[in-house]
Amino acid sequence: MKTIWLGAMLLLAVSLFCPVASGQSVKVWIDSLDRPMRKQVVDLGPSSTNFPGSQQLRVTLSCFFYPGFTVKELYEQRNKAMTSEAVVPVIKGATVDCAQSHAPGEISLGEPDWEGEYFVGAKGNLLFFEWADGNNGGRPFSLLDATSGKQVYADSAYDPVFWDRKPDPSPFNRLRVISSPDGAITLRYLHVEVYECDLHLPTERSSCWEKIKVQAGLGNRQIPVCTVYERIHAHDGSAVAYPVEVSLRPHPTRKIIGGPVRCWPPD
């Protein structure tokens, strides 16, 4: 089992670019996150999931120290990690030890609904989490507010790490986090959606694309050439990724922008 706490002070961090992820997380794929002041990993001993006589699987506590808060991530190794999250508000000037003990006022962040999510990093007072596994060619992610512990936004973004071929160069191969001088944060990425019609079958391709354009609001975009159908014999639906920009203030608003449109068979 893996648990995350957050010790949040009154001051919140906005620092230099450097993505950060726990040692158990998958490859970091989100650009422009804040740099923690330091990271500490504590080995808490063998996991209870070890076979008798084995100590190979370990329990570790990773702590990410930011100017305004500390994220504590407890991870117990097993075939698939399970996660839960919590927020621990503390008074200004208090220190947070990298220890398993819980601080007073701890707030749960959705246990047990967060199975499979990992802490990726922070931007200002936003905490980024990602799924260890993808879904239909995208990687689901979540943003939480570091002060309240509430979810701010969640979606699934295209991640080329799932493909066994080198992707075409594009700024949309990674989720980009853009901050303005006033602290507003904008996201840009390829949003992944699955549609019931088939963009690969010649008999359905044109009519399917017309339906998708209407449902997604893609206007007069040209029909994309779908990939990864070489070994697919049964056709059932289409996964489509298209470029979006999300403004998080005053509430999340997503709009379609210029950029590549891609499609492939769903999982």
Predicted local confidence at residue 135, as pLDDT: 84
Rounded CA-CA distance 240/260 in Å is 11
Instruction: Return the closest-CA partner of residue 265 out of 204, 177, 197, 164.
Output: 197
Bigger pLDDT: 127 vs 31 = 127
pLDDT band, very low/low/confident/very high, at 30 (cuts 50, 70, 90): confident
pLDDT band, very low/low/confident/very high, at 178 (cuts 50, 70, 90): very high
CA 249 vs. chain centroid, Å, equals 19
DSSP 49-117: TSPTT---SEEEEEEEE-SSEEEEEEEE-SSS--EEEEEEE--TT----S-SSPPTT-EE-STTTTTTE
pTM score of the predicted model: 0.82
- Span 54-106, pLDDT tens digits: 777 888 888 888 888 888 887 877 644 544 555 555 556 567 778 878 766 66
- Span 220-250, pLDDT tens digits: 999 998 887 776 666 678 999 999 999 999 9
pLDDT band, very low/low/confident/very high, at 44 (cuts 50, 70, 90): confident
186's CB contacts (< 8 A; 6+ apart) are 177, 178, 179, 180, 245, 246, 247, 248
Q: Is the pLDDT of residue 251 over 90?
A: yes
